Structure 1
Amino acid sequence: MDNRAEVREFLVSRRAKLTPQQAGLPTAGSRRVPGLRRGEVAALAGVSIEYYSKLERGALAGVSATILDAIARALQLDDAERAHLFDLARAADGTSALVRPRRRTTRRWTPRPSLQWALDAITTGPAIVRNGRMDLLAVNHLGRAMHSSIYESDSTSPPNFARYAFLDDDAHRFYPDWDTAADTAVAILRTEAGRDPHDKGLHDLVGELSTRSEEFRRRWSAHDVRLHGAGTKHFHHRVVGDLALAYESLDMVAEPGLTLTIYAAEPGSDTAQALALLASWAATQRMDSAATTN
């Protein structure tokens, strides 16, 4: 990724989203655009307009944390956006690789036996491991069953959530709120691009999706980022129907850059019953697969 272009487009897009009313500024006079002017951001941040204009042109190298904090406050950045701004600054300094531990690159990552044992020990809900590119790297039995359509759809190895969301029409069935799922996927990829701007796999994925999907291109150009830690997601499984699942996502200390997500249903809910049915279906699938192999 071109760091200066990323910085410029991110800051311009955040400035355009913030209105004078939101910033507590007077609104008298005509405006060509609804967002703040550069001079208004500079004044709110306590820096000169010349200095802020230099930053907005992409020159973040060497900028202090104090100035970055001031810019973040002026633009009313949320936690994810503020973290992204600091990631872009570290990339401009060339220090991002030092700040964020990187996994050793291998031709094909596979989970350690102990990790797979831990995943398989989670029997009441789906559990998955993904990276920042949204590759689906490891699952427990329920995770595999819930994402069976993704495994069937994506011939690449490992399958990829973003590729499925934007290049397979079946994703609109699997994600009842497809727009939210699509927004989230792009925000995760954009966040990862700020953390690791030299990830060739991510470059290739973004290039592929930008070429093949107008919906992806439009969302990518918005420069939205997101912290994806906990919440509720809705799915429609082709066998067991609708699922409303709470999720918790955890960064894996032993595998920097990977995220473990565990899904759970509210006890006694329709989704809990559907998960029990999914577990039964998954067990049948495994027995059929074993019988075919033997």
Structure 2
Amino acid sequence: MDNNRAEVRDFLITRRARITPEQAGLHPHGTRRVAGLRRGEVADLAGVSVEYYSKLERGDLAGVSSAVLDAIAAALQLEDAEREHLFDLARAATGTSLLTTRARRRPSRPWQPTPALQWTLDAIRDAPAAVGNQRGDLLAANHLGRALYSELYNDPTGRPNFSRFTFLDPAARRFYADWDYFADITVAMLRTEAGRNPHDSELHELVGELSTRSEEFRSRWSAHDVRIHTTGTKHYHHPVVGDLQLAYQTLDLAGEPGIAMTVYTAEPGSPTHQALQLLASWAATTAPAPTDTSPATRVDPTAGQSLQLD
């Protein structure tokens, strides 16, 4: 519970600090000693007493109503992901299935794709597809997905993870065309998951490892930014086929709580579309077997670099 209080306190303080009085429609007078809004100003905007808001900002969300949370979210101009994170923190504080989202079942053993799911992935032949969880573990992929993320499969632990790759593997700075962007969203998604599932021991271990080994992770983690990341465009620099501009859609698997599939596509006839065709040729001889992520089976990302686009 103490950890939850600290999460709530730091999240609300950082959100309050980024909103100026002018952005909130206020007209401040005199010298201000705080960045952003004062507690009293947030309380006025939310329609609660300053004493009650101060109690919430100290981390005590137990018993708070959804109406009050909505009012605070509006006062702090929270985005959808931030609002959901606030509700997740309130849910953790009360120990109940509060408000909007269902508590998710946690598997008692390491997750493995069912044969049917792997068949589904392998049936997607012209686009990279991958399955992962909210901690950023890469759990399964089709042939193009394994080829796209060949360097992640070189993780010596045998457990490829996007967060660990981003902050601990030098290859990430070559692979991600805009490393800072990927680093920001990676941490924001982990922070979102930490609010949603505060008792996930594997997530705590991952955050602890990254905090210990990466100053850039620590600085981003302390910002308390959150994000929902399900669609858009990503830019990669693959070691074999070069630059890729891929649109993606992430779909939750209804029968697998906390597990989602992401499919990447390219505009037909574009350079990226041609690069994916080349990647498919490389994958036919180089990518690891569908279920083999052991460190004994390593992918050499430099193999096949003599291939050239037309």
Question: TM-score with structure 1 length normalisation?
Answer: 0.95
Bigger helix share: 1
**Corresponding position of 2:189:** 188
Give the C-alpha shift of residue 170 in structure 1.
Answer: 1.0
Q: Higher mean Cα deviation, 94-103 or 33-42?
A: 94-103
**Corresponding position of 1:205:** 206
Query: What SS does structure 2 have at the residue aligned with 1:20?
Result: coil
**Corresponding position of 1:104:** 107
Q: Within 2, Cα distance between the matches of 1:196 and 1:22?
A: 32
Q: Does 1:72 pair with 2:73?
A: yes
Does the Cα contact within 8 Å between 1:96 and 1:196 map onto a contact in 2?
no
Once the two structures are superposed, the pairs formed by residues 171-250 of structure 1 within 5 Å of their partners are 171-250=172-251
Give the C-alpha shift of residue 158 in structure 1.
Answer: 2.1
Q: Within 1, Cα distance between the matches of 2:84 and 2:61?
A: 14
Q: Does 1:133 pair with 2:132?
A: no
Does the Cα contact within 8 Å between 1:127 and 1:261 map onto a contact in 2?
yes
**Corresponding position of 1:271:** 272
Residue-by-residue CA offset, 1:40-94 (whole Å, 9 max, x unaligned)? 0000000000000000000001100000000000000010000000000000011
Q: Within 1, Cα distance between the matches of 2:122 and 2:265?
A: 15
Does the Cα contact within 8 Å between 1:166 and 1:209 map onto a contact in 2?
yes
**Corresponding position of 2:36:** 35
Structure 1 unmatched runs, 5+: none
Q: Higher mean Cα deviation, 190-199 or 29-38?
A: 29-38
Does the Cα contact within 8 Å between 1:120 and 1:140 map onto a contact in 2?
yes
Give the C-alpha shift of residue 216 in structure 1.
Answer: 0.2
**Corresponding position of 1:94:** 95
**Corresponding position of 2:307:** none
Question: TM-score with structure 2 length normalisation?
Answer: 0.90
Query: What SS does structure 2 have at the residue aligned with 1:165?
Result: helix
**Corresponding position of 1:20:** 21
Residue-by-residue CA offset, 1:123-152 (whole Å, 9 max, x unaligned)? 111111111110000100000000001111
Does the Cα contact within 8 Å between 2:146 and 2:288 map onto a contact in 1?
no
**Corresponding position of 1:251:** 252
Once the two structures are superposed, the pairs formed by residues 131-170 of structure 1 within 5 Å of their partners are 131-152=133-154, 154-170=155-171
**Corresponding position of 2:301:** none
> What letter is aligned with 1:271?
T
Q: Within 2, Cα distance between the matches of 1:287 and 1:38?
A: 55
> What letter is aligned with 1:18?
I
**Residue 116 of structure 2, aligned match among 114, 117, 120:** 114
**Cα distance change of structure 1 residues 189 and 96 upon mapping to structure 2, 3 Å threshold:** farther
**Cα distance change of structure 1 residues 32 and 112 upon mapping to structure 2, 3 Å threshold:** same
Query: What SS does structure 1 have at the residue aligned with 2:106?
Result: coil
Q: Within 2, Cα distance between the matches of 1:179 and 1:157?
A: 25
Does the Cα contact within 8 Å between 2:8 and 2:59 map onto a contact in 1?
yes
Aligned length: 288
Task: Tell me how large the CA RMSD over aligned residues is.
Answer: 1.8
Give the C-alpha shift of residue 99 in structure 1.
Answer: 2.8
Does the Cα contact within 8 Å between 1:175 and 1:181 map onto a contact in 2?
yes
**Cα distance change of structure 1 residues 286 and 247 upon mapping to structure 2, 3 Å threshold:** closer
**Cα distance change of structure 1 residues 286 and 10 upon mapping to structure 2, 3 Å threshold:** closer
> What letter is aligned with 1:45?
A
Q: Within 2, Cα distance between the matches of 1:143 and 1:21?
A: 47
Query: What SS does structure 2 have at the residue aligned with 1:246?
Result: strand
Same amino acid, percent of matched pairs? 68
Q: Within 2, Cα distance between the matches of 1:128 and 1:164?
A: 16
Does the Cα contact within 8 Å between 2:18 and 2:36 map onto a contact in 1?
yes
> What letter is aligned with 2:153?
Y
Structure 2 unmatched runs, 5+: 291-296, 298-310
Residue-by-residue CA offset, 1:9-49 (whole Å, 9 max, x unaligned)? 00000000111111011132211233100000000000000
Give the C-alpha shift of residue 248 in structure 1.
Answer: 0.3
